[in-house]
Structure 1
Amino acid sequence: MAHDADAVLDDPVGQSLGGRHAHLARRLGRAATYHREVATFSAVSTEPDAADWADLAGLLGPGAFADLFSCPAVPPPTWEPVFSLEGRQMIWSGGTPDGPAAESGAGLVELGPDSVPDMLDLAARTEPGPFWPRTHELGTYLGVRVDGILVAMAGERLRPPGWTEISAVCTAPDARGRGHAARLISTLAARIVARGERPVLHVAETNTGAVALYERLGFRTRRQVTFRGFRTP
């Protein structure tokens, strides 16, 4: 059973949409989703009934993609499965982040609206997960530029109360092996801890290299999850 402080992580999308990301949300009844150019994640109540699924379908529209992230509830059989991916949720194990990156974030740059084309290009080439034109509005995104070219980035995504998720961790193929990801993650974790929150992240079970990196940086597995996507009727 989850500790009280961890319980919000059982529904990270719903907790974010109902809290610090409420300004980025669209809602109908007990269903909610992000604005389309921000994120595709959607949420229903923790024990959804037929009306909740109908509200989400109405919110998204017919034949629309519904990314339910780690929601354990399964929609009605009229919803077409799109993908199912085993993964894990990992949380910061405590203490103050250190290591190669938490020094001060030297050499890292904050990525804002003017960096969106570069961020979209890097995400398209490295596929760290869904990334859209307004995803950067979810939180702070940091990057590494070499000769002006963005070669690595990571940022803040879901933000359930007391927690901030680190996401979009990616490095261009020709810039790997130089510690960029570790530095970005540790710097973000240090900032999150400094403001009194705890870092959390999600990773596909098949991405064993990322899991090993996160464990070295101070994360531990909280629970196994299944990421699911569907198409509305």
Structure 2
Amino acid sequence: MRELVSEAEVVAASGDDDLVVWAAQGMRPGVRAWAYGDAVAVASPEAARRDRLAVRGEAARVVPLLRHALAEAGPSYRPFGDAALIEQVVEAVPELELAGRFSWMGTEKLAPPRERAAGRERPPAWLADSAAGEVADLLAAASPGSYAVPGLPRVHRWAGVRDGSGALLAVAADAWPAPTVGLLAGVATASPARGRGLGERVCRFVASALLAEHGRVALMVDDWNAAAVVVYERLGFARRRVAAAGPRA
């Protein structure tokens, strides 16, 4: 097993897998990575509010690599990767159990926008820092489980859609980006404004900016949130089923 010490090494070892490269976070301080044959593991502290251990490769090599990575990084790290791989991992590692399923979605190019009737809302725009309280209130009401909230480290900026009077109707964040993979997070629309395509508009605005800056953009979405998945697929994001494991209770 060998330790990877640069982003370039992670890119080469993983075949430029966007999930693994995102987890590496440009190999910022605290991130560690290892390879064993075709298997790669990246331990990324506080990546989207979790100590995440992204894994990729064949289970026969991922399992011993995962044990090594957990011994080096510590038990707080939750393995995550393609759902089929994580299922094999938990079968082979009795100390772990399946902790959740969700989807990783990414794209290098957005689909063309749909034609929509003009509304009274203002166009999406980046919000001033002074809007943090408004964003927090909207998230508390519309998406209380959001990983991204104002004030967290590496949650860089928020975009929003306002109505004609200035009330905030929908938001999305640029959060936890890697140099070549931006992350869209914190998406929420106020309940009375749903069904008007505002979430899609603010996501397109943020995703366009992240594509221009990073070349790729990704997001994480719960599998039960079918309406959100439809919006992201309409924007051009491709869905990848992933799962996470944690210590067995």
> What is the TM-score normalised by the length of structure 2?
0.65
**Cα distance in 1, alignment partners of residues 209 and 110 from structure 2:** 13
Matched with 2:51 is 42
Larger radius of gyration between Structure 1 and Structure 2: 2
SS of aligned partner of 1:130: coil
- Asked if 1 retains the 8 angstrom alpha-carbon contact of 2:44 and 2:51, the reply is yes
Out of 6, 15, 35, the residue aligned to residue 4 of structure 1 is: 15
- In structure 2, give the amino acid aligned to 1:40: R
Out of 172, 176, 187, the residue aligned to residue 194 of structure 2 is: 176
CA RMSD of aligned residues (A): 3.7
Matched with 1:60 is none
Out of 194, 213, 227, the residue aligned to residue 209 of structure 1 is: 227
Matched with 1:145 is 162
Shift of 1:143: 0.9
How many residues align? The count is 205
Shift of 1:189: 2.1
What are the residue-to-residue correspondences of 1:27-176 with 2, within 5 Å? 27=30, 32-34=44-46, 39-44=48-53, 46=55, 47-49=65-67, 52-53=70-71, 55-57=73-75, 66=76, 68=78, 70-71=80-81, 72=86, 77=95, 84-92=99-107, 94=109, 98-99=113-114, 107-127=123-143, 129-135=146-152, 137-146=154-163, 147-176=165-194
- In structure 2, give the amino acid aligned to 1:92: T
Unaligned runs of 5+ in 2: 1-12, 34-42, 56-64
User: What is the CA deviation profile of residues 43-93 of structure 1, one whole-angstrom value per residue up to 9, with x for unaligned ones?
Assistant: 347534367457435xxxxxxxx573835476984x8x7x83322111226
- Structure showing the higher helix proportion among its residues: 2
- Asked if 2 retains the 8 angstrom alpha-carbon contact of 1:32 and 1:56, the reply is no
Shift of 1:174: 0.8
Unaligned runs of 5+ in 1: 58-65
SS of aligned partner of 2:184: strand
- In structure 2, give the amino acid aligned to 1:168: G
Instruction: Report percent identity of matched pairs.
Output: 24
